[in-house]
Copies of this chain bind each other. A is one copy, B any other.
Amino acid sequence: MKIALIGFGVVGQGLLEILRDKAADLKTQYGFEAQVVAVATRSKGTLYNPAGLDIPALLAAADDFSGYPDSAGLTRGTDILDLIKTCNADVMVECSHTNLQTGQPALDYCYAALDSGKHVVLANKGPVAVGYNELVARAAQAGKQLRFEATVMAGTPSIRLALQALAGCKITEARGILNGTTNYILTQMEGGMSYAEALAQAQQLGYAEADPAGDVEGWDAAGKVIILARALFNSSITFKDMDVKGITAITADDVKAAAQAGEKWKLVARVTADGGSVQPMRVKLSNPLAAVSGATNAITYTTDLLGDVTLVGSGAGRLQTGFGLLSDLLDIYAR
């Protein structure tokens, strides 16, 4: 399977580390052999070799592509859209920066990939949240696959659980803790920290961005709600259709009052066929979501035949998100 990788930050590097370290296992167990033929970023430029790029050399040159050695067949500095259209990849893997408002420029990259006969696998939430219907239509027209496991709970198989493992059940609701930063902050506040202290610690640990608004005001979780609404209910809700509230108004006293009542504050994302929301809520200790602490994520699907099914796991991280991409690649390969 020939791969064009768009975006080469933490997640893209995580995928390549996995492909490097697991090459032998993947071949033995699944007959899967991956070759990275193109890597493209807006800040560092592009590298393309139809005969395959060298993964250890790519990882060594991750910060500066000029460090990648010249070799026969290597092209540098191609326009990204041109590269996507003309390269010999079977699959485009999109893990560039997320823009939840426009999905761009990644959305155009996805269109170009599908229109030129390539499968598309995303870790980038933007294109899925903004352009899902058009992406599905173009994928169908091209007879190619569109996959986005890594957009919700990183590689923890939240999408695959819903669409494949629960096939035959009707899912009526999904609700969960889909943002690790806010859950980390709330967990630290249970331990006695103020909101400001907990946020500062989350930033220090790299969980929260310098501008944490996307996380703490609920927009990151809301983007995931939109993706789940499309994937589970074929429902085209947008940010405007949703009640979205973050955790910025939760005080140490609120957390204490909940604890005294045997409850915990959680930022709960919720989606049904009728809509979605992101709201801080007090949940009872008997709720599986109550035990989800720190940066961990969780999702509960309510189903007709099984009742509630809850999946708890990592929601971020280099290898965790890289695995989400790998699992989509393996699934496409197995078809």
> What is the interface residue range for chain A against chain B?
35 or more
Q: Are A168 and B308 in contact (CB under 8 A)?
A: no
* CB contact under 8 A between A308 and B313, given known A167-B30, A286-B293: yes
- Determine whether A1 belongs to the interface, using a CB cutoff of 8 Å to chain B: no
Q: How far is the CA of A292 from the CA of B291 in the complex (A)?
A: 9
Could you write out 26 A-B pairs with CB less than 8 Å apart? A25-B170, A26-B168, A29-B167, A30-B167, A30-B168, A154-B306, A156-B306, A157-B165, A160-B164, A161-B165, A164-B164, A165-B165, A168-B327, A169-B323, A288-B292, A290-B291, A306-B313, A307-B313, A307-B320, A308-B312, A308-B313, A309-B313, A310-B310, A310-B312, A311-B311, A311-B312
Q: How far is the CA of A18 from the CA of B306 in the complex (A)?
A: 12
A164 to chain B: which residues have CB within 8 Å?
160, 164-165
> How many copies make up the complex?
2
Q: How far is the CA of A30 from the CA of B169 in the complex (A)?
A: 12
- A residues whose Cβ falls under 8 Å from a Cβ of B: 18, 22, 25-26, 29-30, 154-157, 160-161, 164-170, 285-288, 290-293, 305-314, 319-320, 322-323, 326-327, 330
Q: A313: which of B310, B314, B320, B327 is its contact (CB, 8 Å)?
A: B310
Q: Which 6 A-B pairs have the closest CB atoms?
A: A291-B291, A157-B165, A310-B312, A309-B313, A305-B323, A160-B165
Q: Are A166 and B157 in contact (CB under 8 A)?
A: yes
Quote the shortest CB–CB distance from A178 to chain B (angstroms): 15
Q: How far is the CA of A166 from the CA of B158 in the complex (A)?
A: 11
Q: How far is the CA of A25 from the CA of B168 in the complex (A)?
A: 8
A290 to chain B: which residues have CB within 8 Å?
291
* CB contact under 8 A between A168 and B326, given known A18-B305, A320-B306: yes
Q: How far is the CA of A310 from the CA of B268 in the complex (A)?
A: 18
Q: A161: which of B22, B25, B161, B285 is its contact (CB, 8 Å)?
A: B161
Residue on B with the closest CB to A161?
A: B165
Quote the shortest CB–CB distance from A146 to chain B (angstroms): 18
Q: How far is the CA of A286 from the CA of B285 in the complex (A)?
A: 11
- Which of A29, A168, A314 gathers most chain B CB within 10 Å? A168
Q: Are B286 and A167 in contact (CB under 8 A)?
A: no
Q: A314: which of B29, B293, B307 is its contact (CB, 8 Å)?
A: B307
Residue on B with the closest CB to A303?
A: B323
A169 to chain B: which residues have CB within 8 Å?
323
- Which of A287, A292, A307, A313 gathers most chain B CB within 10 Å? A313
Q: Are B288 and A155 in contact (CB under 8 A)?
A: no
A160 to chain B: which residues have CB within 8 Å?
164-165
Residue on B with the closest CB to A318?
A: B305
